[in-house]
Amino acid sequence: MSDDIVVCDACPVLCRIRPGRNGACDRYANLDGALTRLDPVLVTQRIAEAEGDLVPFGAGDWDGGLNPGAATFVTGIGSGTTYPDYKPAPFIVASEYEGVDMVTVVSEAIFSYCGRKVKIDTDRYIGAEAAAVRIDGEQVGHVTTAEYGSQMLSLGGVRHLTGGSKREGRVTCDSMLALSNGAAVEAVIDGGAELTLQVGAAPIIDGVEESRMRVGCGSATIGIFARQWHGHADEVIVVDDHITGVLSEHQAGQFLGMAKAGIRVRGRKSTPGRYFQVAGPGTGWGGTDVTDPLTIIEKIDPKSAWPGLRLMMVSTTGEDAAYFVLDEDLKPSPAAMPEALRLIVERIGENCEPALTTVMFMAGAGGSLRAGVTENPVRLTRSVAAALTRVSCGGAPVYIWPGGGITFMVDVATMPENAFGYVPTPALVAPIEFTLRREDYSAMGGHMDALRRIEDICDDGRIRATRWHDRAPWPGAPL
């Protein structure tokens, strides 16, 4: 090997980098014969307020430089990797927060075992559960169990990153990186919809941008608005793919003393006024395939119904609504919607939250990563489980899953911008920080000889400072 070639050991690829060139991940380069992390280390500072009042240096424009005395937190973004972590993490930082001596262990971690859970706020049908999700023709995940008012995708994971073809792994890695860093991604679901997904933006389904989550299922909507409908309609049917509600049969209608209207909807009756499977899933009313709401009416009982009966039909978002009056033959005839009912339809819409796309990064902190924190990795695992050690991603709070290991999940919208990278193994690179009391770090067998004061870190020429945003709590607060 030529003397001027540097071998990068930041990941298993072991790029051989010539002078002035980058490695395959574009994160490391050979600068004057030294392996150098290219991106700056991101430190966040809380400088805008102190006990509710502006501090003097917060009164004017900030040039992005470090503010002496401001609360400072070193993130893993740009810090570099110590793969395989038989050596200490890139930064082990000693600092003081509100009189407490703290240590934050900072690293960029390589995650082969990682994925994205994508929450899509809509009742629209996007595909069958377990249907493949494809990007550029490659399967990168699947539709998973829907949650209340949202469709859910599970993307990435080790099987797609490394268990399939080389192209599948590359496409999976690229799409997860793009989603996590805020870019829009186009996906297609087998037998289902075409999606455009972007963190913090409304999902686009088959070219139509969603605007609202549902206020609740059909039964819940009946319960919420029953008293408001009472006296203005003799029957209200809320069309929903999950539970369609029928007001006069529903417990809410019975509490109000309503007479049963005798309008029987299709599907399987669950409990009074609650019906399953009134129609197939789709992009119509209430997440069903219904475009004409009258098609879900199975029969009208002449023993209970009467001419002039006022029938209101509405979806769970209020985007679809219609008003009918039964004629002499007990057939629903379209009629102008009374103002009182129109206002309730508007109120349904008012109570629907904006439809958004949310991306959760999920990963596990493995053995070699933990070895960069302590010489006895299981002690870190136990410390996290006991809530003595706080885990964060780019300073953002994470949810730690119960059970063994350190499996965590974080909302990428709470992290600083462009926090993620990749290595061509393929795998995702994400910042991670472990913060705990100095005495606890010493007791777990931490790498105390690698400890550096935060003031020394901030004198490093690779530092880039930014104001802490308001999308998550300040990461450096004492536990």
Q: Does residue 230 sit in the same domain as residue 323?
A: yes
327: CB partners within 8 A, 6+ apart: 307, 333
b/e per residue, 66-81, with b = 16+ CB within 10 A?
A: bbeebbbbbbbbbbbb
> Percent helix, strand and coil across the chain, each rounded to 5?
20, 35, 45
Q: Does residue 299 sit in the same domain as residue 222?
A: yes
Q: Does residue 267 sit in the same domain as residue 344?
A: yes
Exposed, middle or buried: residue 65 (CB in 10 Å: 0-12, 13-18, 19+)?
exposed
Exposed, middle or buried: residue 9 (CB in 10 Å: 0-12, 13-18, 19+)?
middle
Tokens of 61: 């424009």
Q: Which helix (H) or strand (E) holds 369?
A: helix 367-371
Per DSSP, which regions of 121-217 are E strands? Answer: 132-135, 138-147, 150-156, 185-189, 194-197, 204-205, 208-209
Q: What is the pLDDT of residue 50?
A: 46
Of 109, 107, 105, the C-alpha closest to 452 is 105
DSSP secondary structure letter of residue 440: H
- pLDDT of residue 33 exceeding 80, the answer is yes
Q: Which residue has the tokens 């740009």?
A: 78
Q: Write out pLDDT tens, residues 253-304.
A: 999 999 999 999 999 999 999 999 999 999 999 999 999 999 999 999 999 9
Q: What is the pLDDT of residue 85?
A: 67
Q: Write out pLDDT tens, residues 293-334.
A: 999 999 999 999 999 999 999 999 999 999 999 999 999 999
The reply to whether 474 falls in a domain is no
Q: Write out pLDDT tens, residues 422-445.
A: 998 899 999 999 999 999 999 999
Tokens of 137: 């023709």
Phi, psi of 241, deg, nearest 5 = -65, -25
Alpha helices in 138-271 (DSSP H): 158-162, 166-180, 218-229, 251-255
Q: Does residue 131 sit in the same domain as residue 95?
A: no
The reply to whether 342 falls in a domain is yes
**120 vs 479, residue with greater confidence:** 120
Q: What is the pLDDT of residue 274?
A: 97
Q: Does residue 272 sit in the same domain as residue 224?
A: yes
Of 349, 318, 323, the C-alpha closest to 337 is 323
Q: What is the pLDDT of residue 86?
A: 74
Domain end (from 170, 197, 213):
213
User: In degrees to the nearest 10, what's the CA dihedral of 128, 223, 233, 279?
Assistant: 10
The mean pLDDT of 4-26, rounded to a whole number, is 89
Q: What is the pLDDT of residue 82?
A: 78
Please, what is the end-to-end C-alpha distance for the chain in angstroms?
50
Q: Write out pLDDT tens, residues 55-84.
A: 455 555 666 677 777 888 999 999 988 777
Q: Does residue 94 sit in the same domain as residue 184?
A: no
Domain end (from 167, 196, 213):
213
Q: Does residue 83 sit in the same domain as residue 128?
A: no
* Helices and strands, number each (H, E), in the chain: 9, 34
**271 vs 39, residue with greater confidence:** 271
pTM: 0.90
- pLDDT of residue 113 exceeding 80, the answer is yes
- pLDDT of residue 478 exceeding 80, the answer is no
Q: How many domains does the chain have?
A: 3
Cis peptide before 426 (omega within 30 of 0): yes
Beta bridge partners, 91, equal 106
Q: Write out pLDDT tens, residues 181-226.
A: 999 999 999 999 999 999 999 999 999 999 999 999 999 999 999 9
The mean pLDDT of 135-146, rounded to a whole number, is 97
Q: Does residue 423 sit in the same domain as residue 442?
A: yes
Q: What is the pLDDT of residue 60?
A: 57
Q: Does residue 321 sit in the same domain as residue 445?
A: no
The reply to whether 5 falls in a domain is no
- pLDDT of residue 479 exceeding 70, the answer is no
Residues in the chain: 479
Q: What is the pLDDT of residue 96?
A: 86
397: CB partners within 8 A, 6+ apart: 390, 410, 414, 472, 473, 475
Q: Does residue 182 sit in the same domain as residue 241?
A: no
> What angle do helix axes 218-229 and 339-350 make, rounded to 10 degrees?
140
Domain end (from 213, 246, 264):
213
The reply to whether 2 falls in a domain is no
Per DSSP, which regions of 348-423 are E strands? Answer: 357-364, 390-393, 396-397, 399-400, 407-411, 421-423
Interatomic CA distance for residues 375 and 373, integer angstroms:
7
Beta bridge partners, 139, equal 134
Q: What is the pLDDT of residue 51?
A: 44
H, E, C per residue of 237-269: EEECCCCEEECCCCHHHHHCCCCCCCEEECCEE
Q: Does residue 171 sit in the same domain as residue 277?
A: no
Residues 417/181, Cβ–Cβ less than 8 Å: yes
Q: What is the pLDDT of residue 53?
A: 46
Tokens of 281: 């899933």
Q: What is the pLDDT of residue 476?
A: 78
User: In degrees to the nearest 10, what's the CA dihedral of 129, 135, 139, 145?
Assistant: -20
Range of the domain at 137: 114-213
The reply to whether 9 falls in a domain is no
Average pLDDT, the chain: 91
- pLDDT of residue 129 exceeding 80, the answer is yes
- pLDDT of residue 133 exceeding 90, the answer is yes
The reply to whether 361 falls in a domain is no
Phi, psi of 265, deg, nearest 5 = -95, 160
Q: Write out pLDDT tens, residues 363-393.
A: 998 877 899 999 999 999 999 999 999 999 9
The reply to whether 204 falls in a domain is yes
Q: What is the pLDDT of residue 52?
A: 47
Alpha helices in 279-352 (DSSP H): 339-350
Q: Does residue 284 sit in the same domain as residue 160?
A: no
Of 133, 135, 199, the C-alpha closest to 170 is 135
pLDDT over 70, % of the chain? 95
